[in-house]
Amino acid sequence: MKTGKKQFIAGAMAGSLFFSLAFDLKRLDAIQGSEMWHRMAPELRLGYDLGFLSPEAFEPYNWTAPISRRDFEQALNKAIQLLGISGNFDIEVLAKANMINHGSFKRNIKRAEAFEKIFQTLILLETYGYVKMPESETNMVKFSDYRIPKEYAKAMTFLVNRGIIKGYSDGRLYARRNLTNRDCVYLISRLYELLAVEKQSKMPKRQLSYLDLPMDHWVFKQLEGLDSVGGLSLVRIGAKFDGDCRLSVGECAGMLAGILVHFNRADVLAELNAVCEKVGPSRTFDRKLLARLLAIMLRNLTHLYPSVDEQPQISYSDVEPGSELSHDLAAISYYGIQLGYVGGRFAGDEKITRFEAVGTLYAAVAPLIGSIPGQVTADSVAVSPEDNDQQKFLWGQTRVLDEKRAVDIDEFVARIKAKQKRIRDILDRNKNRPSG
């Protein structure tokens, strides 16, 4: 097998098994392996990942437990530190902002106290140039049970209008209630996101950046690779990547569509759309549907891939031979990509997260990164020194490859589809042949 092919298969397998190998220790906690974790609000997942509170605070029976003043201030301080904001503030400025601590750290903190601590922090950060609040802004929401101190009016309006501070459906803030662990994580996570966006706006523009992903995160390279071939051009992920959230049909279809458009295969979008319409664009995405859509994409981009000397043998214990799903998985495994679990369990009904989708799609398009969209050239097809003048393509024909001439895509696709039909006919005949 060619060296490039071996590297591709290794990368593809690594991408498909990311959930077994690539998580850090915190992600191995039982809470993150449960269905509850995936249904948890993004703010709570972010707060857990960044460690604003101890893991015990995230247990369901501790959600509504009151939080101490000390734990709240530690969570707030950690968020500020994670943003890289210096703590060497002038003592007079701290005093004016009421940031010098008074009272018992052990007593529980009221919601009003927590909000005012956030107001003070925001005013302090504006003083040091970390954030800029509008001088005049209309308050979009008012609470019937909370009178805003005059000195905090601008900060309150700024935070309420941006959804950092939210009240209840009855229009009340319940400011005199104890702040709970859940309240704390929501509040600190939202503030962290707001300040991170403000910080990003002042930094040199980078094509990709997410509040919850450091630049050295393992998935970042995969996201950049997908982005380079159009995989993120038609989807809006948002300020956070939130890799543990369930993927929607529309989101994954958008990634695949962007790749197809990038390689001048927009004519395939109707086929993708027909599949997605059957399930609805907002439905959560399962592994069966991932296999269906990924197979469609690969079949229509086959002409761009290097030839395969040795087809990997990948089998699944829970997939019926001869089914449409088995044909899709066979098309995918042709490129060394295995879906599901080590040991051959496909688990097609399992919901897909952004982490798994990105890892799988990256494994699929890795050989195409850096190639010219819509063209096959000597650089985009792996040509060994021994057969530099000729290249054997997937459908078994040999033709001279002219480096200066782009090959017609529709001609490639027609040939590929014809061969695929012949292969499927042979498989169907073998399936119907009496055993014995």
Per-residue pLDDT at 337 = 87
284: helix, strand or coil: strand
176, pLDDT greater than 70 = yes
Angle at 75 between CA 159 and CA 244, to 5 degrees: 80
* Token pair listed for 399: 């033709």
Which helix (H) or strand (E) segment holds residue 423: the answer is helix 409-432
Query: Rounded to whole angstroms, how far apart are CA atoms 332 and 364?
Result: 8
Quick one: tokens of 73? 């201030």
Tens of pLDDT, residue by residue over 133-147, are 888 887 777 888 888
Joined together, the tokens standing for residue 63 give 């959600």
How do 398-400 and 390-392 pair as beta strands?
Answer: antiparallel
CB 72 within 8 A of CB 109: yes
Banded model confidence at residue 205, pLDDT cuts 50, 70, 90: low
Cα 204–Cα 210–Cα 215 angle in degrees, nearest 5: 70
- pLDDT surpasses 60 at 29: no
The pLDDT value given to residue 9: 38
> Which spans in 64-180 are helix H?
69-82, 91-96, 111-127, 153-161
CA distance 222 to 233: 15
**Residue 108 confidence (pLDDT):** 92
- Tokens representing 200 are 């990003």
Pairwise CA distance, residues 360 & 345, whole Å = 16
More confident residue, 240 or 356: 356
> Is there a contact between 111 and 66 (Cβ–Cβ < 8 Å)?
no
Q: Which of 334, 323, 321, 325 is nearest to 293 (CA)?
A: 325
Residue 296, pLDDT above cutoff 90: yes
| Confidence at residue 372, expressed as pLDDT on a 0 to 100 scale | 57
109-160: pLDDT as tens digits: 999 999 999 999 999 888 888 888 888 887 777 888 888 888 888 999 999 9
Check residue 392 and give its pLDDT. 31
Q: Side chain identity at 189, as an amino acid letter? A: S
- pLDDT tens digits for 210-259? 877 777 788 888 999 999 999 988 888 877 788 888 888 888 888 999 99
When comparing pLDDT for 332 and 100, which is higher?
Answer: 332
Q: What is the pLDDT of residue 259?
A: 93
Average pLDDT score over the chain: 74
29-33, 52-56, 421-425, 430-434: which has the minimum mean pLDDT?
29-33
Q: What percent of the chain has pLDDT over 90?
A: 21
Where do the domains of the chain lie?
3-21+208-377, 40-201
Query: What's residue 399's pLDDT?
Result: 31
Q: What is the mean pLDDT of residues 339-361?
A: 88
Q: What is the pLDDT of residue 426?
A: 59
Chain segment 177-202, per-residue pLDDT in tens: 999 999 999 999 999 988 888 877 76
Q: Which of 100, 151, 161, 102 is nearest to 126 (CA)?
A: 151
The first and second tokens of residue 421, run together, are: 């039909």
